[in-house]
Structure 1
Amino acid sequence: MVVKEVVALLEEQIATIIRTRLLDPLEILFDDVGDLPSRVDAVAGQLAAAMRGDDDSAAVHAIARLVGALYPGDAPFDPPADWWRTPLGQVVARRMGHPAAQAVSYSVAGAMLGVTKQGVHDLVRRGKLERNSDGGGVTVASVRARLGA
C-alpha cells in the first residue's frame, strides 16, 4: 500500500474514533458541541502526521494523548487482537509497542506482526522473537524489533 493511502486510512480511523468515542456522547449530553465536529479532521491529520513523522518523541506523545483520551479508565489499555491490524494499531505497534505491557500473548504478537499465532510460535522457536521471562507470551521489545522499529 502506498504511504499516502496508509496515512489517509490512519487519519480516517482516528477521526472516526474521535467522533464515535468522544463527540457522539458529548452531543447526546449537551445537544450542541459547537465547532468541535469541524475540527476533528484537522486534529486527526495532526495526530496522524506526528505518529508517522520522524520525531519518535512526538509520535509517542501523540499516541499517548490519543489512547489516554479515547480509552480512559483505571484498567490498563488492552485492545482486542484485531485492533492491532488496523492502521492505528500498526503505527502504535511500530512506534511504541504495547502502551501498557512489556509482554503480549502469542495471538496479540501475531496480530501486531500480521502473522498467525503459529507463526509467532515458529519465530520464538527460531529465536526471532524473545519469549517473556515469565513464560507467557513474547516481549513487546522483540515484536518491535521484528517490525523494524
Structure 2
Amino acid sequence: MTWMQFLTEILKLSAYSIVIVGPILFFGKRFFTGYIDQKSKNLATIEDIDKITSIVEKIKSDNAHVLEELKAEHAKKLEEIRKENQLFVSTVDKHLDLKIKIYTDAMESFTVITNSLAGLSKFSLTESKFTSIIESEAKKTPKLRSLVQLKPVKLLLN
C-alpha cells in the first residue's frame, strides 16, 4: 500500500462518515435541543410525578403522626385537668357539707341554750343543770371558731 492509496482510503472513510454521521448528529441535535428545552421549563413529567407523590405522601404521614401525638398529649392533659377539677369539686362539696353540719350543730346548740335560759328564767331548771348544759354546748364551739372569719365581723363593726 502506497502513500496515495492510504490517503485515498482515509478520504473515502471520511466521506462515508460525514454522509452517515452528519444526519444522525443533525437529527440528534434537534431532538435533544427540544428535550432539554422541555426539561428546562421545570414542568412535572411522568418521571417526576412519582417522586412528587412520594414526597407528598411522606409529608402527609408525618403530619398525621404529629397530629396523633398532639391529640394523645392533649387527651392526657385534659384527663389530668378533669381529675384535678373533680378533686376540687369533691373538696368544695366536703367543705360545704362540713359547714352545713357545723351550722346545724350551732343552731341546735343555740336552741338548747335558748331553751335552757327559758327554763332557768321559769325556775324549771336548776343552776347546776343549766351549767352542765352550757358546758356541754360550749364544747361544740371550737368547730364554730374554725368557720368564723374575723374580717367580715370587723367590717360590720366599723
Give the structure with higher Rg (CA).
Answer: 2
Task: Pick 1 or 2: higher relative contact order, CA cutoff 8 A, min separation 6.
Answer: 1
More helix by share: 2
TM-score greater than 0.5 by the shorter chain: no
* TM-score normalised to structure 2 length: 0.22
